[in-house]
Structure 1
Amino acid sequence: MRAAARPFRPLLLWASLSLAAAPAAAQADARPTPEQVAQAENYFNAGAQAYEAGQYQVAAEAFLEAHERVPSPSLLFSAAQAFRRQYLTEPSPDALRRAIALYREYLRQDPKATRREEAVTALGSLVPLEARLAGEGAAPAGGEGSTAEGGGPATAARPAAGGTRLLLSSPAEGARVSVDGQPFVAAPLVAPVAPGPHRVRVQATGHYDEELTVVAVAGELMPRHVVLRVKPAQLRVTGTGGARIAVDGQVRGTAPTAGAIAIEPGVHVVEVSLPGYELFRRELRVTREQAVALDAELRMTSRRVAAWTALGVGAAGAVATGVLGGLALASQSEAVELRDRKDADSLTPSERDRYNAAVDARGSLGAAAAVAGGVSFLAAAAGFGLFAFDEPKGLGSAAPAAPPPRDPGVGAEFTVGVLSAGVRGRF
């Protein structure tokens, strides 16, 4: 009993539904259809959540329904584990026999099973209990190779029909389900219903409600695993007007935002940028429906300050060039006038001094204007160059955001290949 009392390992860590043991032609004939895979996925996901919720009988039935559509020794093991837990929580000869039959069938179908030791250990603890029941007059479970009418051990271990029922589940944390307008009940829900269509609503905090129609088949357990859409977080950015807002490297608007930017829950990198200003960068971890506000007041870069300074020097140089050029022209005009008078008539000593001073001033002012013009041109060119290359670094190069945190609980994934099908799950 020690093995039966110890906590179970995760029920299904990595189960491969490989058909490689059969010849290739047989594999091609037995390959499940997309419809069968979709049905098996529904049964498996619903059964996994039922298992997590302690509804082991329902979980076992769902795993066996999935096995019927996509045969897999791993699903037999899952059903056996569910029956074993059912027996441990509510001892009954029926659950014990079914667990033993399924463990044996699992070992028979997959002699190299990855969980063979667990199955053998489980049988070592359960078979003595079966023998004790047999000694008390109860019929034992079928041994290896035993069959029920029309099927093998897996068929014999199927739960008895429980009537027409819906098995409704959802991976969303705290999901609630309503059938035909009845009060909401925590998922997973097993609801006895009449055959025919039924209106199902599923809701969970931080998710959009989902409404669908599920058709119940007489005498069958009909599963539906409903994945709800997560409500995004809402991001608003204020600060320097006209700045570009990028989330995970994708431009999503300009500041200040006119409306909220919807982002998925998880980790994101937000960048706010404007040429000439230092890049604003924040890493955010947001949850469902969270309202996030960022004030991105950008600071001017040193390069932009230098650009404005250079342009200011260029502008001042241009003004100085104009003034010096004007004075040089005035001196030139005065010198020309005096020269003309000199050619027509002799100049007085004072006029001759004025002429010489005008000629000297013209040369000095012209040279100064040329120097000022050169400085102005170089400063303006440097300023425009600094402007042209003053782009913020980092925009569009944000690291990819981490995936949103998954809802706790059970998850599963079905995959289908050319000659095989696969399922992964965590419990």
Structure 2
Amino acid sequence: MRRFFAALVMLALSTGAGLSLAGPSDVDSPEARAYFETGAREYEKGNYANAVRAFEQAYALTTRPGLLFSIAQAYRKQYGNDGKPQNLRQAVDYYRRYLATDTTGKRRGEADAAIKDIEAILSRLPPEIQSTPTHEEAPSTQISITTQVEDATISIDGGPPRALEAIDVTPGKHKVLVQAPGYFPEEREVPAKQGQMTALDVPLREMPAFVSITGPAGASVTVDGLPKGALPLQSPLQIEAGVRTLSVSLNGFNTFTTELDLGRGKSEDVKAALDRTRQRITSFVLIGAAATCVAGGGVMAFFAGAAGDNAKEINDRRLAGTISEAELDEYLESRETQTALRNGATVALNVAAGMGALAFLLYYFDEPRLAPPRKKDDKKPKGPDPSRLREIAVVPAVGPGVVGLSFGARF
């Protein structure tokens, strides 16, 4: 019969008023917030006695009415753990204090309903249960650590890592180490007072990701558009974890851009393979062609001079006397050869100058341009690259006394 009645009580507790708690906005100091978060965590784990202690500590620091409601909820749930009517009476007391303190609270309806449910349960308790004396155990000394990282662990006085929870300790000072994957560990010295719970919030600092980059010497490195130095780097870059866009650029090369999903404390190796731009390749081709034209023009100028010397020698003999008809033909041929070669040398040198000027412009203005980021596994996009030379045009230019070439390029 008693087991059947206990089952009915548990059913009433689970189907009665909602078991919501006060929110973080109900506390207004870091210390009180640490106790509130401890209470909420212990409540979720079913450690309602610890939740009561933490909520009561938070209320002592901030006196927010919502915490009275949370304390009542924890007492009510604790009755389901130990079956002590005193917990129900404490719950009713705190519900009433909440109603008296917060006259416009949004949980007043829940508190009224909970009081009615509990009073109905208390009225049905057998007399022998109601008259059973309760033995209050001496409260334990506890330390509770809260942090923003859910999977963090704590070690007390060099002990093994443990999940975040209220831990029984001896009174006195204790060294607490808080750590989590991807975060820098934090150590605190926490004084534990006899019979009290000491709650402390320990924020953890995120570890950066470490990125090693290999690529051409002198190339500039940017992360999310911010400069980070030039290659080779003395040490891996320390970059805030998350999705980041990394670019490596160097004059005359297409910019290497990749998107990295960096984890806290993780290392990443990036090989920046930069290929030369068409514009830079074209400038090199033009420089080579200009050098060839200069060499060709020099050769033609040399032979033009030789032909001129031969014509001058024949002309000198003509002035000194007579020359044969064959020598006259040789003279005329030498003069024609000299003129043709001289014109050819002039054209070659003019072409070389034009090519050299265009090569200089292409080389000098071949600055890196940022490309849209792509993920590491993505292939290079097909189609024309806007950062490269698209076409080059060479047009003959002929005028009175002028022979040359006109160059044009489109990017």
C-alpha distance after superposition, 1:366-400 (max 9, x if no partner): 322232223222222222322233333227x979x
The letter for the 2-side match of 1:41 is R
SS in 2 for 1:271: strand
The reply to whether residue 286 of structure 1 matches residue 278 of structure 2 is no
**TM-score for both structures, normalised by structure 2:** 0.70
Closer, same or farther: CA 261–95 of 1 in aligned 2, 3 Å: farther
For 2:301 and 2:67, locate their aligned partners in 1 and report how far apart those are by CA, in whole Å.
Answer: 95
Of 33, 36, 51, 1:44 maps to: 36
Map 1:313-324 onto structure 2 (within 5 A): 313-324=289-300
Q: 2:109 aligns with which of 96, 100, 120?
A: 120
Cα distance between partner residues in 1 of 2:293 and 2:49 = 91
Q: CA deviation at 1:212?
A: 1.8
Residue pair 1:318, 1:376 contacting (<8 A) in 2 also: yes
What secondary structure, in the 3-state scheme, does the structure 1 residue paired with 2:204 have? coil
The answer to whether the Cα contact below 8 Å between 2:143 and 2:197 also exists between their aligned partners in 1 is yes
1:186 pairs with 157, 163, 172, which one? 163
Show CA shifts across 1:326-362 (max 9, x none). 3333334444454455455554433433333333233
What SS class does the counterpart of residue 327 from structure 1 fall into? helix
Q: 1:70 to 1:343 in 2, by over 3 A?
A: farther
Counterpart-to-counterpart distance in 1, 2:12 and 2:253: 69
Give the conservation status (yes or no) of the 8 Å contact 1:167–1:190.
yes
Q: 3-state SS of the aligned residue for 1:188?
A: coil
Structure 1 residues 13 and 300, CA gap change in structure 2 (3 angstroms): farther
Q: Does structure 2 retain, via aligned residues, the 8 Å contact 1:53–1:188?
A: no
Distance 1:346 1:234, change over 3 A: same
Distance in 2 (alpha carbons) for counterparts of 1:286 and 1:207? 14
Kindly report which structure 2 residues correspond to 1:407-418, keeping only aligned pairs within 5 A, or say none.
none
Distance 1:93 1:369, change over 3 A: farther
Larger radius of gyration: 2
**Structure 1 portions without partners, runs of 5+:** 18-31, 140-158, 400-427
What's the counterpart of residue 335 of structure 2?
359
Relative to the length of structure 1, the TM-score reads 0.68
1:238–1:295 Cα contact (<8 Å) kept: yes
Q: Is the 8 A contact 1:278 1:300 kept in 2?
A: yes
Cα distance change, pair 119–226 in 1 and its aligned pair in 2 (3 A) = same
2:201 corresponds in structure 1 to 225
- Shift of residue 129, structure 1, vs aligned partner: 1.6
Other-structure match for 1:410? none
Mark the runs of 5 or more structure 2 residues left unpaired by the alignment: 1-10, 131-135, 375-411
| 1:177/1:185 contact within 8 Å kept | yes
State how far apart, in whole Å, the 2-side matches of 1:67 and 1:332 are.
112
CA distance in 1: counterparts of 2:70 and 2:296, whole angstroms? 90
Q: Indicate conservation of the 8 Å contact 2:144/2:164, yes or no.
A: no
- Tell me the distance in 1 between the aligned counterparts of 2:72 and 2:323: 128
Is residue 144–residue 199 contact of structure 2 (8 Å, CA) maintained in 1? yes
Contact 1:76–1:102 (CA under 8 A) maintained in structure 2: yes
- Alpha-carbon distance change, 15 to 229 in structure 1, aligned in 2, over 3 angstroms: closer
Amino acid across the alignment from 1:175: A
Counterpart for residue 50 of structure 2: 58
> What is the root-mean-square deviation in Å for CA atoms of aligned residues?
3.9
Aligned residues: 357
Counterpart secondary structure, 1:355: helix
Is the partner of 1:15 in helix, strand or coil?
A: helix
Q: Does 1:176 align with 2:165?
A: no
Alignment correspondent of 1:167: 144
Identity %, equivalent residues: 32
Q: Does 1:198 align with 2:208?
A: no
Tell me by how many angstroms 1:213 deviates: 0.9
Deviations 1:277-308 (A, max 9, x none): 33332222233443333333222222232222
